[in-house]
Amino acid sequence: MSTDVKKGVTMNTIKKFPKLLTGTVPDLRTEQSEVVESGLSQNYSSNLKGFTLIEVMVVLFILAILAAIVAPRLIGRTDDARVVEAKVQIKNFDTALKLFKMDNGFYPSTEQGLESLVKKPATGRIPENYREGGYLEKKKIALDPWGNPYIYISPGTQGEYDIISYGADSLPGGEGYDTDITNWDM
């Protein structure tokens, strides 16, 4: 007998399953045992794989519950993260300014600003022992988390220098997330 029929189906199989020649697919529930016995299980087993609608709905329901629990906790944390980021940046500026003073004996003036931490000042009191590469790892002064420049005043009103971020509202004062973040409050 010829075994050269489409998809490896033999003539014996065609005799057992004449519906294969007509292009109709046998009902898998009633003819499954015949399929397994005849060796066609690998042709039909791929049709049996998958998830039922109930299984998919259960998984979606579980994911919806998890999202309902986790999402509110993450959404409210954005503003908290910005406040923490501003405090960390101010601490980094604070450390860099102390290194600047150790090398040069003075803090940069208000006019020289925080830019003096990444580029040697060309005006005002010129530092003689300026560190090559500056005093910050990144070669630019970052804006605060709300997209505004930090305020640098030297000599400061609260110490040798003041570093201020006006918070979410970008205005002096405020409460909550609008509160000013300063180097002397840390």
Residue ranges of domains in the chain: 6-48, 78-185
Is 112 exposed, middle or buried (CB count within 10 Å of its CB: 0-12, 13-18, 19+)? buried
Model pLDDT, residue 12:
59
Which letter does DSSP use for residue 116 in this model?
Answer: G
pLDDT of 18 strictly over 90: no
pTM of the model: 0.61
pLDDT (tens digit per residue) in 30-58: 545 554 555 554 555 555 678 888 888 88
Give me the residue label for tokens 């006019």.
111
* pLDDT band at residue 2 under the 50/70/90 scheme: very low
166 and 174 Cβ atoms separated by less than 8 Å: yes
pLDDT (tens digit per residue) in 101-129: 999 999 999 999 999 999 999 999 999 99
The CA angle 116-122-123, to the nearest 5 degrees, is 95
| ω into 155 cis (within 30 of 0) | yes
CATH classification code of 78-185: 3.30.700.10
110 and 153 Cβ atoms separated by less than 8 Å: yes
Which letter does DSSP use for residue 23 in this model?
Answer: T
